[in-house]
Copies of this chain bind each other. A is one copy, B any other.
Amino acid sequence: MSFSFEPIGIIHSCYDQKFGIPRQAGLAPAAGAVLELLPPCNRPESVKGLEEFSHIWVVFVFHRNMKASWKPTVRPPRLGGNRRIGVFASRSGFRPNPIGMSAVELLQIRRQDQKLLLDLKGIDLLDGTPVLDVKPYIPYADSIDSAEAGFANKPPAATLTVEFTPQARQACRDLEKRTGEPVETAITQFLQYDPRPAYYDDRSKKHFGTVMFGMEIKWEVDDGRAVVVSIATK
């Protein structure tokens, strides 16, 4: 028995690589994304009334993990990478069915040419992520104040202070002008959670890189500080 699904939409975001993606939606609130609904789901009627909801669920595929193997246990970064927990006790993208879901703020719904676009805030998805479903966030069913979550009861703490070299800060300014996005804030918000995998083999490594906003971001980590040293075209 197997079930086949076609994407109803696709994510356009500033995150071009996996490394550096915040671990749960909402941790990098400055990061925005656009969900483009694809035919035949791009008829305006299909989202009629959705504007009454402040938040929506985006159900998506961890598409880069489709062919990856999964293991019954994972080592979540937030537990220091040492403790193994079951894959179903985690929100890891490496799972038997690599389906993810994020509750995100819906800023607006708009049409552009023939496209039907949803502007989202605080989303943690890679550019190009296929979307399987959109649902309204319904507080009386989805918001469970009393829920206990053991080792995941508190959001991860920001562990790094983030600084920019003068050159990198200037590059942020230029990029902000060009894109209209809060680039410096978005970079700061994701670097402060130390996106290096916690089980990184060589903790002595100090130079890191990722791609955001189509640019190569490089930073160094030392003594509780992340210093962004360059932001350059790929």
Contact = CB atoms under 8 A, between A and B. Distances in A.
Interface residues of A, number: 72
A101 B102 CA distance: 12
A153 B5 CA distance: 30
Interface stretch (A79-87, A162-170, A174-182, A191-199): A79-87
Interface stretch (A48-56, A202-210, A211-219, A225-233): A48-56
Chain copies in the assembled complex = 2
Q: What secondary structure prevails in chain A residues at the interface with B?
A: mixed
Interface in A63-108: 63, 66, 72-73, 84-91, 95-97, 99, 101-103
A220 to B, nearest CB: 29
Contact of A8 (B66, B97, B142): B97
Interface of A: 1-8, 24-26, 40-41, 43, 45-55, 57, 59, 61, 63, 66, 72-73, 84-91, 95-97, 99, 101-103, 130, 132-155
Q: Please provide the 8 A-B residue pairs with the shortest distance between their CB atoms, ordered closest to farther.
A: A52-B150, A49-B85, A49-B89, A48-B86, A50-B89, A24-B141, A54-B148, A45-B72
